[in-house]
Amino acid sequence: MTTPTPATDPNTTEEEIQDHKLVIYQMMTRLFGNKKALNKTYGTLQENGVGKFNDITDKALQEIKKLGATHVWYTGVIEHALMTDYSKFGVHLDDADVVKGRAGSPYAIKDYYDVNPDLAVDVKNRMKEFEALVQRTHNNGLKMIIDFVPNHVARYYGSDAKPNGVEDFGTQDNKTVSFKASNNFYYIPGEALKVPNTYNPLSGNYRGPQEDSKFNENPAKVTGNDVFSASPSENDWFETVKLNYGVDIQNNRTKHFSPTPDTWGKMRDILLYWAGKGADGFRCDMAEMVPVEFWAWVIPQVKAKHSNIKFIAEIYNPKEYHNYIRTGGFDYLYDKVGLYDGVRRLMENRGQGNTAEITKVWREESRGISNHMLRFLENHDEQRLASSEFAGTPWAAVPAMTVSATLGSGPVMVYFGQEVGEPGKGHEGFQGEDGRTTIFDYWGVPAHQAWMNGGKFDGGKLTEDQKRLREFYTKLLNLSTNREAIRKGKFYALTAEENSAPKGVYAYLRHTAEERVLVLVNFNREAANYSLTLPTAALANMGVEAKGSFILQDLLTDTPPLLLQPSVKTSITLAPLSAHVFLLQNK
């Protein structure tokens, strides 16, 4: 009988091994340092407060690094449409008809060359405060990521900070035609924009330009989510307009890439501008709504000048994964449709989840892209896992986050407050009460504020339960970057859908020539008994002789060491919502 090899054994994966693992700490920058706790629905900046660049202190960054982070993703840095009036500083006052919430969407960019004035203590020196944050981040041994929003801009776009020689989008457009390859926007000739008449959340309480449905845009531009109508709905991205990359969307999506579309050059210059400011990476919003040919053109140009910069694509179509990695040149892609959706069903406690979905993920992604996938349980778009709309308890993260962090060598991400069980309660404004932390309104984030402790960043106001949760995240994230087997090891599944493991239990190996770890998780909310065995095939795959005994030392919990013999079943009782990462060593 021949021993299965990695190429033929269905339980193994062939990977592009990477000798590093990114741990990304995402923060909604305007919320991170906010100390106010009023949390009034649709509250103003003065009422509900706002965090500043300066609130992200050396101490804060040191604690984020201790958590295990290698990168900080500062969400909402680039200037976007909002309702707060900064006109005395020369900042265009936005019309409330086309701003969602009081603080506005961070993805409705109104000046690609400036930063959000909300984030500055001294608005006139807002760029200097941002540059100081970049330096502070680097000084504390962290790298920084910002958003790049290529698909759409705010209804009003106009840069007052652009470098000499830069033209605003649309300046030279021919507005009499719907599509022209050299235009920056798409148009609906002969029709004026009609703002959704259902959008009036503030009921006239806002002191400033009212939602009076009189925002003037004629001819109407096409809405950001490809809505070719002068009357977008409230559920559309009506506050944004679609950028034109030379694709005639209404004519079979025909491509006009020669000569190079004007939008391409403008976007390349924007990326180079922020890379020059010290950005170590870009999280590219809705990257799949922009043609892959643009990415294949622009990413090499940026990397030619900034070789270590990383590009992360928000993408939800698995059929395009290989294309955006191989052709487009992205370093990493969101693993939302795969692992996130699969483990979410396991976490929701509705009996609908199945660990076979994890098996499906690594099998589908095993053809050279698994280590390019960014795993997460929370981000600014998703519900808080502790919310009643999701898992209902932050401890459901223990098995799910362990799998997310250790299944592959690609990045893993946490969203600020996740590590202390933020439940996302409250009706903040535009989004309503939906289990998410708002991206549209001014707000305080209570569990995060307890850790922040008035700017001490020492966890002084956390409960004992929150402290234990944060300790779990700290152990997991640090071992995911420090342990060689997780950072760059190969994968071998011990449980799969055809095996007889209890429902909700999953086990696998990660291994290099020097180190082997065994990950064992229980998604169930009750204890589970599992018969653990190390098959001869698994040992052969790791290059280990099937003789003698093995000691399993838990790196994640205080579980006493286990003694294991090859091909002999060892019964283990797994606690509810538990995880173990065992270091496997010869006795």
Residue 420 Cα distances to 6, 149, 435, angstroms: 39, 29, 15
Of 251-265, 277-291, 345-359, the one with minimum mean pLDDT is 345-359
H or E segment to which residue 126 belongs = helix 126-139
Instruction: Pick the closest to residue 238 from 246, 227, 249 (CA basis).
Output: 227
- With 0-12 / 13-18 / 19 or more C-beta atoms within 10 angstroms meaning exposed / middle / buried, residue 256 is middle
8 A C-beta contact, residue 137 and residue 84: no
> Looking at residue 282, what is its pLDDT?
98
8 A C-beta contact, residue 230 and residue 155: no
Pairing assessment for the beta strands 220-221 and 373-376 based on DSSP bridges:
unpaired
Instruction: Pick the closest to residue 370 from 17, 23, 71 (CA basis).
Output: 17
Q: Which residues contact 292 (CB under 8 A, 6 or more apart)?
A: 320, 323, 324, 327, 328
Residues 183-195 pLDDT 10s: 999 999 999 999 9
Backbone region of residue 555 per phi and psi (left: phi > 0; alpha: psi in -120 to 50; beta: other values): alpha
Is 14 a residue whose pLDDT tops 80? no
H or E segment to which residue 510 belongs = strand 505-511
Amino acid at 11: N
> Looking at residue 498, what is its pLDDT?
43
> Looking at residue 204, what is its pLDDT?
44
What span, in angstroms and rounded, lies between the C-alpha atoms of 284 and 79?
16
**Banded model confidence at residue 499, pLDDT cuts 50, 70, 90:** low
Of 447-451, 530-534, 580-584, the one with minimum mean pLDDT is 530-534
Residues 377-395 pLDDT 10s: 999 999 999 999 999 999 9
How far from each other are the two terminal CA atoms of the chain, in whole angstroms? Answer: 28
The tokens of 255 are what?
A: 């491509």
Residues 533-574 pLDDT 10s: 999 899 999 999 888 899 999 999 999 999 998 888 999 999
> Looking at residue 7, what is its pLDDT?
33
8 A C-beta contact, residue 336 and residue 345: no
The tokens of 436 are what?
A: 């998410």
User: DSSP readout, 4-54?
Assistant: P-TTT-TTB-B----S---EEEEEEHHHHT-------TT--HHHH----GG
- Domain architecture of the chain: domains with CATH: 23-155+257-336+376-454 (3.20.20.80), 482-586 (2.60.40.1180)
> Looking at residue 12, what is its pLDDT?
57
Is 1 a residue whose pLDDT tops 60? no
Which stretches of 35-119 are assigned E, i.e. beta strand? 71-75, 78-80, 109-115
Residues 456-493 pLDDT 10s: 999 999 999 999 999 999 999 999 999 999 999 999 99
What span, in angstroms and rounded, lies between the C-alpha atoms of 28 and 38?
18
**Banded model confidence at residue 276, pLDDT cuts 50, 70, 90:** very high
What span, in angstroms and rounded, lies between the C-alpha atoms of 23 and 412?
5
Mean pLDDT of the chain: 92
Whole-prediction pTM = 0.95
Q: Summarize the confidence of residues 266-276 as an average pLDDT.
A: 98
What span, in angstroms and rounded, lies between the C-alpha atoms of 223 and 229?
8
Q: Where are the alpha helices (DSSP H) in 227-289?
A: 262-276
C-alpha angle with apex 228: 222 to 234, nearest 5 degrees? Answer: 80
Q: Summarize the confidence of residues 249-257 as an average pLDDT.
A: 98
8 A C-beta contact, residue 123 and residue 117: yes
**Banded model confidence at residue 2, pLDDT cuts 50, 70, 90:** very low
Rg (CA), the chain: 25
Q: Summarize the confidence of residues 30-46 as an average pLDDT.
A: 97
Is 3 a residue whose pLDDT tops 70? no
Is 10 a residue whose pLDDT tops 70? no
Residue 165 Cα distances to 111, 183, 266, 544, angstroms: 15, 18, 11, 63
Amino acid at 328: G
Is 155 a residue whose pLDDT tops 80? yes
Amino acid at 371: N
Q: Which residues contact 397 (CB under 8 A, 6 or more apart)?
A: 347, 377, 385, 391, 418, 469
